[in-house]
Amino acid sequence: MSHAASSNRLVFDAGTLLLDFRLPASTLPASTLPENRASGPATKKQLDAWFGLNLWTWDHRVSMWRTDACYYGHIRQVLSTCDTRIIDEVPRMDTGVDTQSTSVLVTFAAERNLPPLRAEQIQAVEAWSTTRRGIVVMPTGTGKTEVALSIIAQCQTPTLIVAPVRDLMYQWHRRILRGLGIDAGVLGDSRHDIRPVTVTTYASACIHATQLGARFGLLVFDECHHLTGPIRADAARCSIAQNRLGLTATLGSNTQSLESLIGPVVYELGLQQVKGSTLADYDVIRIPVSLGTLERFRYKELARQIAQYVNERRQQQSDFEWKDLCSEAAQGSEASRIMRLYREKESIEDRADEKISVLEDLFRLHLGEPMIIFTGTNAMARQVSTRFLIPCLLSHCGKSERLDYLEGLRDGVYPALVANQVLDEGVDLPEVKVAVVLGGKSSTRQSKQRLGRILRKRGDARAVLYEVVAAETKEVQRSRNRRRNDAYQGTRHRKVRRRPDPS
Amino acid sequence: MLTKELAIARYVDGQILPDRLSRTKHAKYLELAEQMCQVYRAGVGSMRKSLHHEIQKILEVDPECPIRRVGAFCKLLDDWSEFDAGKPKKTAQLRQRVFRQAANLHPLVANVESILDRSEIQAKQQIAQSENMTWHELERQLFSDIIEHHRLIKFDSPSDTKDLLARYNVAQTQAALLDAKQMVVESTADWKRILRFAKLANLMHRIEPIHDGFRFTLDGPASVLRGTHRYGVQMAKFLPGLLSCSGWSMEATILPKGFAKHADTPWGSKQRWVLKLDANSGLQSDTQAGGQTDSGVEQQLIESWKLMQLLLEGARDLEGWMLIREGDLLVRGQRVFFPDFTVVSPSGFRVLLEIVGFWTPEYRRHKAEVLAAFPDTPMLLAIPQSLKAQWKNHSFSVNHRVIYYGQEVLPGEIIRAIEENS
C-alpha cells in the first residue's frame, strides 16, 4: 500500500495541517497516556495530552488528524522535544538564527537605507523581539513602518505584508525597496506575483490564504484591526508563520481575537504621550453651515417621514431598531421606501451647496498651504474635484496617477487633494497641516485616522482640522460624538463666524 | 454571481427562502423583464449610471420591490453586457493636465471679492480652451473612465426575456449559499456528474450509500475544525452544475450573520438556517446537461446489449441479466471510482465492468492504482487485444478478471466470463 510508506508524517494541506499518525499509542511519551490503551492507535485524548492543547480533530474523509496551520510553531516545538518518528514535511521557514540546509533565507541588500530609530521605536522593536509574536500599538505618524522594516530585516525570513488598501500596499512596496533594497512581489490589484517578500491587501490575503499559508515565516499585519471576521481571520489562521507582527493605531473592541491570531500587545504608545514632541499640536474647528432653503425644507420633510415610520413601528415592536429597518428594506415593502428617503436625506447632508462655499473660504484662508479634503462619498469627492479642479484620489485611480497626486501635493504642484476613505489610513502625506472634513460617519477610528493625516510635525506650526457640518442635521451630533474621543482631548475648539450671506 | 450585499431572503421556521420571482405571484415581472432588456438593447452608448437609473425607474412600478432586487437585476444585465472602459490612461493624463493648469489659478472662486481672485467660470473656460473643447465637453470627459461612467458597447440579449428571471432566481439562491457551511446532496442518479462538479468547485466530499443511491456531504478542508463559510463561494459555483443533474435533493446549512461572535455559546452553535432544494424546484441552469458515454466502445456495448435482448427475447442465456451504466460507485477516502458498468446476474450477483481504452503509461498506472485500491470488489476488466502485452505482467487480485476484446466487447463474452468464475 502506498499509504504505509508515507505514514507518520505532518503535512500542510490548504491552510491546515494534517497529522498522519498510525503508530500505536505506546510510542507516545509515557506521560501522555491517561488511558491504558498502549496497543491501539492513539486517541484524541492522548494526542491532546501530548500536545497540551485541544488541538487535533479527526478528519474521517482523509483518515488523518487535522488542525489549523497557525499552530505549527507549537506543534513543532512539541515534536522537537521527543523522538516520535513523525516526519515533518511542512516547508521550512526558519529565520536567520536557526540555519538548516532546507531553510529559505531572505538576505537583504548590505547597504540598507533605514533611518535611525527613535527611542520609542527601539522600545517597540525590542518588545516584539522577546516574543516574536505580537501587536505594536502606535498612533499614526509615529513611525510604525520603520519599526516593521527593522523587524523584517532582523527576521531574514520570507515575509508577507498585509495592508488595508491598494495604495498602502504599493506604499509598502516603495518603502521596502527604498529601505531594504528588495523589489517585493505584489498580490492584489489584479497582480499575482508572489516572491520571498510580498505585499498584499487583506482582501487578497484571505482569498489566497490557503496557498499563502506555507510560504512565509513572518506575517506583518498593517492596521491589524482589519483582521476581523471569520473569513478575514483566515489570513492569519491558515499560515504556518511563527513570527507575527500587528501594527495599529487603535486596537478597537476585538483585542482578544486579534491577540489569538497575531500575539499579545507587546508595546503601546498613547496619543497623548507623543503630542507636542513627535507630533504637532492641532486644533479642531467645527464650522456649522446651514442648508439652502429648498434643501432645508426637503430635509425636514424627509426626517419627518422617517421618524413617523420608526415611531409607528416602535408601537408594534418596542425594540425596533435601525438594523431591523435595514433588513426589512432588503425584503421590499414600505421599509424599502423609507430606506430610499433615508439615502436622499443623507445625500442632502453630504452635498449641501453651502459646504462648497465654506471650502472656497478655507482655500482662500490657507492659500499656499497644502490641504486635504475628506468627503463622505465618492460622488461628493468628484463634485468637489470638478468644482475646484483639484485632484481627486479615488479607488479607481491607477497607481501612477495616485503617486503623481500624492507627490504633487508634497512638492507643491497641486494645492489640495480631495478624497473619500481611500486616504483614511496610513498613506504617507508629509507636510500637510490643514485638513477639512466634509461629511463622513461618526466612527472613532475614522476620525482618529483623519487626524493622523495632519499630525506630522513641521517646525512649530500647529495643525488644523476643520469639520464642516450641516446645521440642523444629524451631522452636528456626529461631530460632537467625535470630540469625546481621546484623540481630541485637550484640543481647542473654535466656532468660526461665517461671512454674512450676500443674499 | 451576486454579492452578499445584493442577496434577498426570507427566514421561515429555520429555513432560508431566497428571493424567487414566480410566474404566478410575480406575473408582471415578465413584462418588466422585457422592459429592462429593452433598456439595455436600446442603451448602446449610454453610461452605466444612467442604465441603472432606468432599471430603477422600471422597477419602481412594483412598490414591494426591494432596493437589492434593483441592484441584482443591474448586475445580471451588466453580466450580459460589454462596456467601454474609456481610455483610462488618456483620461488620467487629461485630468493631470487640467489639475496642474488649475493649480496656478487656485482657488477657483464663485464669489470674486478682490482683484486677485480667479473666477471659476473664466478659469474653466480658459482651461477648456487649451484642451480645444468647451467646458461642457471637458466636464463630460474628466471622469469618463470610472465604472459608473463607462458606456455600453454591446448587450447579449437573451433569446427569451424569461431567461433574465430564471437567471435572477438562480443568482439569489447562489447568493444565499455564500454563507453556507456544508451541503448535503442525496441522489439516485448522475453521481459521476455531481462529483465532477464538486471537484471542479474544489470541494471535498464524503459519500455514504443510502437506500436507492448515495449521499454526498460537501465542504472544505477546514470544515472539520469549525463551522466556516469559507467554502460558500465554491458551493455557489457548484450549484449550476447540480441544477443540470437529475434525481437529487440538496440541503445546505447556512450560517447566520455574526455567527462567529456567538459560536462558542450553546445557543450560538445551534443557530443556523437550512436551504432546501431538489431537482424539481424549477430552477434552471445554463450548464449543459451532458450524459454521453466516454468512449465509443461503451456506446457500442450498450447497443449490442439492447440488440441482443431484442433479438433473443426470451433466450435462455440472456434471461435475467442486467447491464447498468455507471451503476455503482466505489469510495475509499477521497478516491472515487465509477466503473463503466455494473453487470447483475440472474441470481443477483454484481460484477463491475471496466472497459480499458487507452494505451498511455499514465492511464495504465492510474487504472492499476484504482484496481489496487479496491482488491476485494469483484471486477471484470475488458482490455483490447492490442494492449495484451502491456498488461501481461500485471498481477491481478483474485477478485479481478480480464477479458480481451477485438473490435468490440461482446455481451456473450461478459456473461461467459462471469459464469466461469462464479
Tens-place pLDDT, residues A448-496: 555 665 555 555 566 777 888 766 666 656 665 555 554 444 444 444 4
pLDDT band at A416 (very low <50, low <70, confident <90, very high): very high
B118-119 and B108-109: which strand pairing? parallel
Top-level CATH class of A119-269?
Answer: alpha beta
Pairwise CB contact (< 8 Å): B146 & A363: no
pLDDT at A48 over 80: yes
Backbone angles phi and psi of A353, in degrees to 5: -55, -35
Question: Which is more confident, B241 or B227?
Answer: B241
Kindly identify which residue of chain A lies nearest to residue B205, measuring between CA atoms.
A61
Pairing of strands A434-438, A371-375: parallel
Q: For residues A129 and A132, what is the distance between their CA atoms, to the nearest angstrom?
A: 5
pLDDT of residue B291: 47
pLDDT in tens, A150-178: 999 999 899 999 998 777 788 899 899 98
Residue A90 makes CB contacts below 8 A (sequence gap 6+) with: A10, A11, A12, A17, A72, A76, A214, A240
Q: What pLDDT score does A278 carry?
A: 53
DSSP A22-39: -SBGGGS-GGG-SS--TT
Residue type, position A359, single letter: L
> Average pLDDT, stretch A121-136?
95
User: Among the ranges A89-93, B15-19, B393-397, which has the highest mean pLDDT value?
Assistant: B15-19
pLDDT at A501 over 50: no
Confidence of residue B277 (pLDDT cuts 50, 70, 90): very high
One-character DSSP codes across B171-230 = HHHHHHHTTEEEEEEEESS-HHHHHHHHHHTT-EEEEEEETTEEEEEEE-GGGGTS---T
Residue A17 in contact with residue A65, Cβ under 8 Å?
Answer: no
**Residue of A329, A331, A414 lying closest to B99 (CB–CB):** A414
Give B276 to chain A, closest Cα distance, Å.
20
Distance of CA A119 to the CA centre of its chain: 25
The predicted pLDDT at position A486 comes to: 47
Report for A384-393, B249-258, B404-413: range of highest mean pLDDT: A384-393
Q: What are phi and psi of A362, to 5 degrees?
A: -65, -35
| Chain A residues inside the 8 Å CB shell of B230 | 230-231, 234
pLDDT of residue B384: 87
pLDDT at A374 over 70: yes
Instruction: Tell me how far apart the 2 most distant CA atoms of chain A are, in Å.
Output: 95
Query: pLDDT averaged over chain B?
Result: 86
- Which residues are within 8 A (CB) of B164 and not within 5 positions of it... i.e. 6 or more apart? B33, B36, B37, B73, B76, B77, B158
Of B67, B127, B333, the CB nearest to A61: B333
For the segment B335-346, the average pLDDT, to the nearest whole number, is 86
* Alpha-carbon gap, residue A478 to A61, rounded angstroms: 53
The answer on pLDDT for B228 being more than 80 is yes
pLDDT digits (tens, 9 = 90+) for A290-303: 666 777 788 788 88
Domain with CATH 3.40.50.300 in chain A: 119-269, 282-291+352-495
Confidence check: pLDDT of B306 > 90: no
Give the whole-number percent of chain B exceeding pLDDT 90.
41
- Residue pair A178/A110 in contact (Cβ under 8 Å)? The answer is no
Q: Identify the pLDDT of residue A158.
A: 93
| C-alpha distance from B9 to closest chain A C-alpha (Å) | 7
Judge: A388–B108 Cβ closer than 8 Å, yes or no.
yes
Altogether, the residues listed in chain A come to a count of 503
Show the cell assigned to B299: 456506446
pLDDT tens-digit map of A396-408: 777 788 888 988 9
User: How far apart (Å, rounded) are the C-alpha atoms in residues B37 and B162?
Assistant: 10
Give me the residue from A229, A336, A389 closest to B98, CB to CB.
A389
Grid cell, residue A298, equals 426637503
CA dihedral A102, A103, A109, A111 (to 10 degrees): -120
Q: For residue B237, give every residue at least 6 positions away whose Cβ sits within 8 Å of its Cβ, in sequence order, or none.
A: B1, B174, B200, B201
What crossing angle do the helices spanning B67-79 and A322-330 adopt, rounded to 10°?
Answer: 50
| CB contact at 8 A, A412 and A388 | no
- For residues B249 and B278, the answer to whether their CB atoms sit within 8 Å is yes
- The stretch B285-306 carries a mean pLDDT of 71
Q: Quick check: A357 and B92 CB within 8 A? A: no
CA neighbor of B405 nearest in space, from B419, B379, B378, B386: B386
Q: What is the pLDDT of residue A426?
A: 54
C-alpha cell at A430: 508629509
Work out the pLDDT band at A135, boundaries 50, 70, 90. very high
Judge whether residue B150 has pLDDT over 80: yes
Three-state DSSP class for residue A313: helix
Contact residues on chain A for B224, CB-CB shorter than 8 A: 57-59, 61, 66
Average pLDDT value over all residues in chain A: 78
Element (H, E) at A482: helix A474-483
Q: Which CATH architecture has domain A282-291+352-495?
A: 3-Layer(aba) Sandwich (3.40)
User: Are residues B69 and A414, on separate chains, in Cβ contact within 8 Å?
Assistant: no
Q: Which residue did the predictor score with more confidence, A249 or A445?
A: A249
A231 contacts in chain B (CB < 8 Å): 228-230
Q: Give the pLDDT band of residue A229 (cuts 50, 70, 90).
A: confident
For residue A97, name the pLDDT band (cuts at 50, 70, 90): very low
Give the highest mean pLDDT range of A35-49, A306-320, B273-287. Answer: B273-287
The neighbouring-strand residues paired with A246 are A135, A221
Q: Look at B66 and A59 and tell me if their CB atoms are within 8 Å.
A: no
Residue A99 binned pLDDT confidence (cut-offs 50, 70, 90): very low
Sequence-distant (≥ 6) Cβ neighbours of residue A30 within 8 angstroms:
none
Q: Which residues contact B68 (CB under 8 A, 6 or more apart)?
A: A330, B5, B6, B7, B8
Which of B3, B230, B335, B370 should one mutate to test binding to chain A, selecting the residue with the greatest count of A CBs within 10 A?
A: B230
**What's the gap in Å between the CA of B171 and the closest CA on chain A?**
16
Distance from CA of A121 to the nearest CA of B (A): 34
Cβ separation of A66 and B224 shorter than 8 Å? yes
pLDDT of residue A42: 76
| Of residues A251, A277, A275, the one with CA closest to residue A265 | A251
CB contact under 8 A, B204 and A66: no
Set of cell numbers at residue A254: 476585538
Higher pLDDT, A152 or B316: A152
Per-residue pLDDT of A325-364, as tens digits, reads 776 766 666 777 787 788 777 777 665 677 888 888 889 8
Domain annotation for chain B: domains and CATH numbers: 4-85+149-166 (no CATH), 88-144 (no CATH), 178-278 (3.30.70), 296-421 (3.40.1350)
Q: Which residue, among A47, A29, A44, has the nearest Cα to A84 in the 3D structure?
A: A29
How distant is the alpha carbon of residue B140 from its chain centre?
40
Mean pLDDT, residues A241-255 taken together: 87
**Whether ipTM exceeds 0.85:** no
* Local confidence band at A228 (pLDDT 50, 70, 90 cut-offs): confident
Contacts of A107 (CB under 8 A, 6+ apart): A156
Q: What pLDDT digit, counting tens, does each position of B89-112 carry?
A: 899 999 999 999 999 998 998 877
User: What 3-state class would DSSP assign to B286?
Assistant: coil
| Ranges of H-type helices in A156-292 | 166-180, 202-207, 209-212, 234-237, 255-261, 271-274
